[in-house]
Structure 1
Amino acid sequence: MSLTSALNTAQSIFNNTGTQSSVVSNNISNAGNKDYVRRQAMLTTSLNGAQVVKIDRAQEEALLRQYLKTSSQDSAQQTLLSGLEDLKSIVGGNDYETSPSTYLGVFQQKLQAFRTTPGSTVAAQGAITAAQDVANSLNNASQSVQNVRATADKQIATDVDKLNTLLSDFEKANNAVKTATSSGADASGALDEREKALKQISQIVGVNTTTRDNNDMVLSTSDGTILFETIPREVTFKSQDVYTATIAGNSVYVDGVALPRGSGSTTTGQGSLQSLLQVRDEIAPNFQKQLDEVARGLVSLFKEQNTVAGPAYVPGLFTWSGGTVDTGATAVAGMAATITVSSRVITSQGGDPMRLRDGGINLTGLVLNTSGASGYTTELDRLYTALGSDIDFDPAAGTPVGFDATTGIDSNVSIMEFATNSLGWLEQYRSNATTAAENTSAALSRSDEAYSNETGVNLDEELTLLLDIEQSYKAATKILNAVDEMLKSLLDIAS
């Protein structure tokens, strides 16, 4: 080996180790950054020796696609579970202390006590107070359900704004990737930024990726709607400030195409948006319908027959803003929000609680207890028996456009059983969603671990590589020292 060749070899080693150490140092400094993908300086050997030809990024497209899928699924499932937990809190949590079912049970007990002592004003007042508690629980539950819908609506608006911002960030990163790729420059930094935006997008909406020339990427939603192609597609949504049982929420549009909502306790949704739509437009309205049917059942069960003129029946103990009695099986949207106890039996409002025993609550002149006997129980017996008798509930009617058409529970049971089944429906849905959320969380954790193992920074490996680079540097130093000694010897001979 000539001295010139030796010097060239040493210079090549110094150049290579300098680049390699820079790459390794950058890897080590980003060891805790989950959005950083490991780099490696790739060497090749030619007649001029070894040299760094490119900086390679540890990309794993298959694992990335799997991560994006599990990320979308877990985000959707966790969002659904959160909405169900909010609905559960409406009825008082695990013991359902504030549920209409609980208050109905107390009312039934108070009505039984009044039957036992029909001449007791205290017992009558106890039954009326329990009835007021039932009405209040339905009012509060109905309002809370609509608050859940309104909260979901606001979160949808927030997620849509965030999604549009992320698509804008994705566009900038994608353009940087295309420019670097086409010019042969290192695109690693831009690829990291693009992947970071992509991961966040997958949490909001399910996303599929397609890579074209110059590493250009196209995004579409899980149902095939284009989300990004050269430029971001517009995602639009019009939020609503107030919700009632008769108001349907607006759709989210991706490039003019409505985003479908998820369905089922193990939701079919991908990303938080579809689950928020599911909570707002399916689950909460279903629960609202069940509350409305409890209210309708109470008005119907406690109705009074009008033997003088039409209508044939009028509300008795329980009434509502509509002031009518539906003798069929037709749901009335929002009825639970306005159900009340008639003022004609409330003492503080000038009423007489004994009207519950004697009849004529809202029909002037109607008196069932014509003798005024303190032991009269015929009407109380009828009402108590009615609470335990099967009635027809509406399984699929009166639902606003865009809402699920069924209550989701049995439609021919007693009002006590219907109210209990409503809680069972919610709890079963939540329980299944909890199990599914645990599964999606575990799947995401495994996908994240698999992807990190292939693309993340391992400090032990990087430090080992740094030691190898140090040995190469020392070898180059020895070559340089040897050349230096030879040159000195030649100079000494020449002098």
Structure 2
Amino acid sequence: MSLTSALNNVQSIFNTTGQQSSVISTNIANVGNSDYVRREASVTTSLSGAQVVSISRAQETALLAQYLQTNAKDSAQQTLVTGLESLKSLVGGNDYETSPSTYLTAFQQALQTFGTSPSSTTAAQSAVTAAQDLANSLNTASDGVQSIRAEADAEIATQVSTLNTLLSQFEAANNAVKLATSTGTDTSSALDEREKLLKQISSIVGVTSTVRDNNDMALYTSDGTVLFETIPRTVTFAPTATYVAGTEGNSIYIDGVALDAGEGSTTSASGSLQALLQLRDEIAPTFQAQLDEIAKSLVQIFSETDGSTSAPGLFVWTTASGATGATPAASDDATGIASTISVNLAVVTSEGGDATKLRDGSISGITDLNTSGDSGFSDNLDALYEALTEQRSFSSDAGLSTSQSLTDYASASIGWLEQYRSDATSASETTAAALSRSDEAYSNETGVNLDEELTLLLDIEQSYKAATKILNVIDEMFQSLLDIAS
């Protein structure tokens, strides 16, 4: 080997180790960066010595697809659990102490106490106060349900805006990947950016990807709707500012196709948007329907009749137009009645009413069951107490049994919510574990291991030292030749 060839080999080693060191240094600088995929300098040897021919990226397409799927499922499940926890907090948290069921039980007990002491004005006022607490709990729960729906709607609007921004950024990243691919330059940084955006998109809406010619990527939702193909598709949503019972929220459209809501406690949703739709359009309205059925039954049970006509008694309500509502029939639509139910002022002492009218059945003014004015009259109170535990018919739209007592129905409503929340929470633990395993598997294949990188750096250092020794020998040989020439 001539001195010139040896010198060229040394130069090649220096160039190669320099590039390798640069790649490894970049890897080490990104330890812990979940959006960075490890690079590796591919080295080959030729007559000119070792040289870096390419910078490869530890890409794992199958593991990435699995991560995107589990990320979308977990995002949806966690969103659903958060909404259910809000509903639970609305009715008192773990013990449901502010739920209509709890106040209905307290009212039933107060009614029983009044029935055993019908002449007691204190017992009468206690029963009326318990009735007011019950009505207030229904009002609060109903208003809270609609607030949760409004918050979900506002969050949908925010996430739709974020999704459109991410898709716009994805277009820029995708174009950068295509440009780098077509010009033969390193695509690693552009691919990292595109992949980071893809992960963020998958948490909002379930997504699948397809890589085409020139490293171009197309995105589709889980149900096959085009999300991005050369250019981003428009995601549209018209928010609704105010929600009351019966308000229907607007749909989310992706490329003109409506996005479906998730279903079930182990939700079928992929991404948070479908879970928010499920909360806004399925879960909250169902719970509202249960509250309305409870309120409707209270008005019916405590209504008074003279045999030909009937009128609300202890509990009254107002219609959507603001008028005082009549006693609703079993088949009547009383959507939103839980938000307006209240205790008739005719029995509220602070409003000039007389609480003993509850005993006499004379609240509405159309009848008086205690015609003799007997202070020990308890027949009406006993009948009302029994009516709370008698079998009644309920709407099938509320998701509960259509035939049971009002007290059982109120308890079943809380049971429905708790069962839904409990099942959703268990499912969220499963999806979180699946996401963690998927993330770990992907990270193990594409992430940076500091120990491995430091080991490679030591190997490069040895190559550099060897090249330095060769260079010193070449220098000595050149010096000897110069000495002979001189």
TM-score w.r.t. structure 1 length?
A: 0.96
The residue number in structure 2 matching 1:327 is 329
What letter is aligned with 1:386?
A: A
CA distance in 2, matches of 1:330, 1:343: 25
More displaced 10-residue stretch of structure 1: 477-486 or 329-338: 329-338
What letter is aligned with 1:253?
A: Y
Question: 1:329–1:392: 8 Å Cα contact kept in structure 2?
Answer: no
What letter is aligned with 2:461?
A: E
CA distance in 2, matches of 1:231, 1:219: 10
The residue number in structure 1 matching 2:278 is 278
CA distance in 2, matches of 1:368, 1:59: 83
- Asked if 1:151 corresponds to 2:151, the answer is yes
More displaced 10-residue stretch of structure 1: 328-337 or 49-58: 328-337
TM-score w.r.t. structure 2 length?
A: 0.98
CA distance in 1, matches of 2:43, 2:56: 10
1:75-112 per-position Cα deviation (integer Å, ceiling 9, x unaligned): 00000000000000011001111100000000000000
- Asked if 1:445 corresponds to 2:442, the answer is no
CA distance in 2, matches of 1:199, 1:267: 20
What letter is aligned with 1:156?
A: I
Q: How does 1:9-408 map to 2 (within 5 A)?
A: 9-307=9-307, 312-322=309-319, 323-364=325-366, 366-395=367-396, 406-408=397-399
CA distance in 1, matches of 2:312, 2:464: 94
Compute the displacement of 1:305 (Å). 1.1
Compute the displacement of 1:487 (Å). 1.3
CA distance in 1, matches of 2:254, 2:331: 39
Compute the displacement of 1:493 (Å). 2.1
CA distance in 2, matches of 1:116, 1:329: 35
CA distance in 1, matches of 2:96, 2:280: 22
Identity across the alignment (%): 66
**Runs of 4 or more consecutive aligned structure 1 residues displaced over 6 Å after TM superposition:** none
The residue number in structure 1 matching 2:322 is none
Aligned residues: 481
What letter is aligned with 2:86?
A: D
What letter is aligned with 1:321?
A: T
What letter is aligned with 1:455?
A: T
The residue number in structure 1 matching 2:419 is 428
1:158-188 per-position Cα deviation (integer Å, ceiling 9, x unaligned): 1001101111111111000000001100011
What letter is aligned with 1:117?
A: S
More displaced 10-residue stretch of structure 1: 210-219 or 40-49: 40-49
Unaligned runs of 5+ in 2: 320-324
CA distance in 2, matches of 1:338, 1:200: 42
SS at match of 1:35: coil
Compute the displacement of 1:407 (Å). 1.3
CA distance in 1, matches of 2:395, 2:38: 60
1:208-231 per-position Cα deviation (integer Å, ceiling 9, x unaligned): 000001110000100100000111
1:388-447 per-position Cα deviation (integer Å, ceiling 9, x unaligned): 10100111xxxxxxxxxx212111111000000000000000000000000000000000
What letter is aligned with 2:157?
A: A
Compute the displacement of 1:329 (Å). 4.1
Compute the displacement of 1:240 (Å). 1.1
| CA RMSD after TM alignment | 0.9
Unaligned runs of 5+ in 1: 396-405
SS at match of 1:150: helix
The residue number in structure 2 matching 1:400 is none
